[in-house]
Amino acid sequence: MLTTIELRWFYPGQIPTEIEQWFPQNCSREKREDWYLYAPACDYLGIKLRQERLEVKWRKAELGVLCFGELIEGKAEKWSKWMCSDSTGESFQPSMVFGNSVWVNVQKVRRLQSYKIFPNSSVQAVSSNESIDNGCSVEITQLLIQEQTWWSLALEAVGEYIHLQENLYLMASCVFNNYRGTKLIAANSYAYPHWLDLILGNYS
């Protein structure tokens, strides 16, 4: 089980140019599609198929709104994640859920930059392949769901339980220090389960 503290925002449309330019340019980039199990009005549980494994996320706590200058306010949440793989390759295949209306396809193009946080609170950018015991990742993702285009910006802190919130705050203060993009507000700050309900609730 992995426990994280996250800040995330969702907005309709393409990623704004000023945010594209602000985000680290030499980071990893990947294109993929995930399948989410849609559970109406259940924003504390996320279940998805990704790269032939099942991932389950459970929100353990809502930590309130954090502010960083005049342009950034977001809702911090604590999540636990479980990942399950099948070495035989027989389970957790997209073909098993394709055509089932409760499973929703989300296409993503994600850019990710990971950071290691040292005991003296200094920060170092590292490869996304590197295992981090104490740090935070920053990601920006272009999304396509049911022919609707959205984008998301997120921070995800990892580490010892007592340092999680400190790691998130330290990283957010660092990366948003030179932020001059679109104002990010708490009303647009939530996790994937809430976003899915926002999108798919319109079709119920």
- What pLDDT digit, counting tens, does each position of 50-94 carry? 877 889 999 999 999 999 988 999 999 999 999 887 766 666 676
Mean pLDDT for the stretch of residues 34-50: 91
DSSP state of 20: H
User: Does residue 204 surpass a pLDDT of 50?
Assistant: no
CA-based Rg of the chain, rounded to a whole angstrom?
Answer: 17
Predicted TM-score (pTM) of the model is 0.90
The Cα–Cα gap between 133 and 111 comes to 21
**Confidence category of residue 203, pLDDT binned at 50, 70, 90:** very low
pLDDT digits (tens, 9 = 90+) for 121-172: 888 888 877 888 889 999 999 999 999 999 999 999 998 888 899 999 999 9
Q: Where do we find the tokens 């070495």?
A: 87
The Cα–Cα gap between 89 and 192 comes to 26
Number of domains forming the structure of the chain: 1
Domain limits for position 114: 2-203
CA distances 35 to 95, 131, 164, Å, are 10, 25, 28
The predicted structure's pLDDT at residue 3: 92
* 17-21, 90-94, 171-175, 196-200: the lowest-pLDDT one: 90-94
Q: Which amino acid is at 82?
A: W
The Cα–Cα gap between 28 and 111 comes to 6
The SS3 assignment for 54 reads strand
Q: What is the CATH number of the domain that holds 26?
A: 2.40.320
In terms of Cα–Cα distance, which of 136, 198, 165, 199 is closest to 61? 165
The Cα–Cα gap between 38 and 200 comes to 8
